[in-house]
Structure 1
Amino acid sequence: MEHVSTYLTPEIKLSCYEDHFFKSDVVFDHHMLIWFISGRTRIVQADGVHDFQTGDIFLIPRNQPATVLNYPKDGLPHKTVVMSLTTDILRDFYSGLGVKAGEPPVPKIRSFRQHPLLESCLASLVPYFAVKGPFPPDLAALKMREAISILRTVEPDLDSLLANFDDPHKVDLIHFMEKNYMFNLPAETFGQLTGRSLTTFKRDFKKAFNTTPQRWLTRKRLELAHYQLAEHRKKPTDVCYETGFENLSHFSYAFKKQFGYSPAQLLAPTGQAQAHPAS
């Protein structure tokens, strides 16, 4: 069964991957509040790898690259309630509060596990997905405001994130790319996230790294993959998806072309491969 999303409003949906694994490299335009009904998700970001499953609740900040890996689990589909906290909704919420965003915190995933207030708010939406007919706009607005209010109560410092509506500004290209090279995103998206047009991004990249973005990204991803395999003995499939490759066959081909041996040979106990990348 393919992915099915049922929408109450454009900002509130029930997402279901029935019986298959799904991978996506994304940059969310809005903060995403997610409650797990069943299944498992692994999210790779610059600050590390996050695993979530049934009952977990988490907030993904906007404008942050991520690799999202969705799995069914225990015979149940990957099913979540997703609430998109758009800029328009947050502007409206904060307009009468007089809250100043201040210095934004480090944009990282916030985990709330099985917080009873957030779970009650999001679980109360589930019955409406089975009801035919439009979802009342006033009720949708009320639910969104309830969720934001709970988030602010649970973590008061979230105001500096949720009430910040700035777009990405021009940032240090070398620092940004060294932190985010493992995400399989178009050059246009890397440009937007660093505050550059595509033309300016390519020009600045050539000046900083003396090569093209694609060549540099492939080399960096393969070096990271080699490290994960050799030092942490991770499975090739996990390494493939966590280092920006689309599928295992392409990853294995590129890996062998770069190092002269396959991921499986590197992991073999008989020492069929070198311990370190070939120069």
Structure 2
Amino acid sequence: MDYQVNYIHPKIKISCYTGKLFKTEAAFDEHLLVWLLSGETKIIQADESFVFGAGSTFLIPRHQLATIINYPKDGWPHKAVAMHLSADQLRDFYKKNDIKPKNLLSHKIFTFDNHPLLKSCLASLNPYFELQETFPDNLAKLKITEAIAIIRNIAPDIDGILANFDKPHKIDLAAFMEKNFMFNMPLEKFGYLTGRSLTTFKRDFYHHYQLTPQRWLTQKRLELAHYQLTQKNRKPAEVYLETGFENLSHFSYAFKKKYGYAPKDLYLGMRI
């Protein structure tokens, strides 16, 4: 099997991927702390991209749209330990420690530069992945609390993210969609992130664009793909990964239907 995941607790897991690449579209409901043991991870957001190599530790904040592409590298699989930081445990942490952060932030991917304290904390989880019995819940909470304390010590500004428990509020739908159309999310998720129910999202969307969300999203993604191919001279196999398409064949079919030629023909033509 190309992909394996082992949960020692609902909030702590280790994953291993040996295929060519593994792509997912993310807008996590909880913050995700990741320690990359081997391989490479590319995270693409609307206005910034990140590439993480083996040994990296980073935090992906909740509710942030991103395309995440995981690659094996240098003969090693993509292998990572991930820890979910739930709102309940974070609220409990800040309450017990009487911490009242200011300047709450909505998003920012944090990197921790292979800090020895954090590396030691996450490395201490490795023996537990060999356990046959259930990992005790109280011990898992202690390990998560330890990780929270360490990343706060490393990056004090992170309080602005970890202590922000607000739910998405109603925002400008058009501005949000123009910035985030390339992320292949369910419409329910787009609605939630703009502070709307699915019904209200569809109604407001049609009122603004006079198109259904599905048709508008396909058009915008194809336009972006065409730009990447013609102006950036990128390969179709790279472009579809970052423009919201499920796979290369679906991308090629939709692209040819709109433009009359396949993306590979355009790419080869640019090479001649």
Which range, TM-score by smaller chain?
A: over 0.9
Runs of 4+ in 1 over 4 A off after TM superposition: 269-272
- Normalised to the residue count of structure 1, the TM-score between the two structures is 0.92
Change (3 A) 1:270 1:43: closer
| Aligned residue in 1 for 2:37 | 37
Is the Cα contact below 8 Å between 1:60 and 1:110 reproduced in 2?
A: yes
1:3–1:16 Cα contact (<8 Å) kept: yes
Q: How many residues align?
A: 272
Q: Could you tell me whether the CA contact under 8 Å between 2:81 and 2:122 is conserved in 1?
A: yes
Q: Are the equivalent residues in 1 in contact too, given 2:13–2:81 (CA < 8 A)? A: yes
Q: Contact conserved, 1:47 with 1:108, CA < 8 A, in 2? A: no
The answer to whether 1:87 aligns with 2:93 is: no
Aligned counterpart, 1:148: 148
Q: Residue 261 of structure 1 aligns to which amino acid in structure 2? A: Y
* Native 8 Å contact 2:106 2:164 kept in 1: no
Partners of 1:109 and 1:238 in 2: CA distance:
23
How far residue 2 of structure 1 moved from its aligned partner, in angstroms, is: 4.0
Q: Distance in 2 between matches of 1:114 and 1:48?
A: 21
What residue identity is the alignment partner of 1:206?
Y
User: Take 1:270 and 1:48, find their aligned partners in 2: how far apart are those partners?
Assistant: 27
Instruction: Give the structure 2 partner of residue 199 of structure 1.
Output: 199
C-alpha deviation, 1:109, in angstroms: 1.3
Q: What do the CA deviations read for 1:19-74 (whole angstroms, capped 9, x no partner)? A: 34222212101000000111122222112222122111110000111222122222
**RMSD across aligned C-alpha pairs, in angstroms?**
1.7
What's the secondary structure of 1:95's corresponding residue?
helix
Counterpart in 1 of 2:170?
170
Alignment partners' CA distance in 2, 1:223 and 1:113: 37
2:99 match: secondary structure: coil
What's 2:188 paired with? 188
Partner SS state of residue 241, structure 2: helix
CA distance in 2, matches of 1:62, 1:45: 13
User: Aligned partners of 1:226 and 1:131: how far apart in 2?
Assistant: 50
- Cα distance in 1 for partners of 2:178, 2:117 equals 38
Paired residue for 2:233? 233
Q: Which residue of 1 aligns with 2:28?
A: 28
Report whether the alignment pairs 1:123 with 2:123.
yes
Give the match for residue 135 of structure 2: 135
Q: Secondary structure at the match of 2:96?
A: coil
The reply to whether residue 219 of structure 1 matches residue 219 of structure 2 is yes
SS in 2 for 1:164: coil
Partner of 1:275: none
- Unpaired runs of 5+ residues, structure 2, are none
* Mapped partners of 2:187, 2:180: distance in 1: 12
For the pair 1:55 / 2:55, whether they are aligned, the reply is yes
Residue 209 of structure 1 corresponds to which residue in structure 2? 209
* Residue 97 (1) aligns with residue 97 (2): yes
Closer, same or farther in 2 for the Cα pair 1:259/1:146, shift >3 Å?
same
Match of 1:276 in 2: none
SS in 2 for 1:63: coil
Runs (5+) with no aligned partner, structure 1? 273-279
- Give the structure-2-normalised TM-score: 0.94
Secondary structure at the aligned position of 1:268 is classed as helix
State the Cα distance separating 1:242 from its structure 2 match.
0.4
Task: Measure the CA separation in 2 of the matches of 1:91 and 1:110.
Answer: 20
> How much identity, in percent, do the aligned residues show?
57
Q: Bigger shift: 20-29 or 247-256?
A: 20-29
**Contact 2:14-2:80 at 8 Å conserved across structures:** yes
- For 2:84, what is the secondary structure of its paired residue? strand
Q: CA deviation at 1:269?
A: 4.5
Report how far residue 271 of structure 1 moved.
7.8
Q: Residue 207 of structure 1 aligns to which amino acid in structure 2?
A: H
1:61-72 matches, within 5 Å, as 61-72=61-72
Distance change (3 Å), C-alpha of 1:270 and 1:122: closer
Code of the aligned partner of 2:104:
P
